[in-house]
Amino acid sequence: MMNKNMMKQAQQLQKQMMKLQEEIEASTVEHSSGGGAVRVVVTGKMIVQSIEIDPGAVDPNDVEMLQDLIQSAVNGAIEKAQELASSKMGALTGGLNIPGLM
């Protein structure tokens, strides 16, 4: 049975987690591939916000290379967004693995 102090701490933790979730969702991360030929920005909600492609990377005779660069940049940006969310949540929860979070 939870006492009042534990209940208060749980409510404070919940408020902090909600605030942190909002911060994460408002954050953006960037990743590029091909030496900057393709740059992708992803939000903390794992949504691609923008993709920039250097015109020099567009070779009609090698579309496959451009596709690989885009895929690499998108995957790298998503990975960075996931790492950002994990590190911020981990700092708040002290490394506890709480089901349903991230």
Give me the pLDDT at residue 50, please: 97
Give me the pLDDT at residue 74, please: 97
On whether the CB atoms of residues 41 and 48 are closer than 8 A, the answer is yes
pLDDT tens, per residue, the chain with 102 residues: 568 888 888 888 888 889 988 999 999 999 999 999 999 999 999 999 999 999 999 999 999 999 999 999 999 999 999 999 888 888 776 655 555 554
Give me the pLDDT at residue 99, please: 56
Average pLDDT of the chain to the nearest whole number: 88
Give me the pLDDT at residue 5, please: 84
Return d(Cα 85, Cα 28) in angstroms, integer. Answer: 11
Alpha helical stretches, state H, the chain: 4-26, 63-93
Taken in order 79, 95, 99, 12, the sign of the CA dihedral is negative
Give me the pLDDT at residue 59, please: 93
Among candidate residues 39, 26, 35, the one with its CA nearest the CA of residue 84: 26
Among candidate residues 36, 34, 39, 40, the one with its CA nearest the CA of residue 62: 34
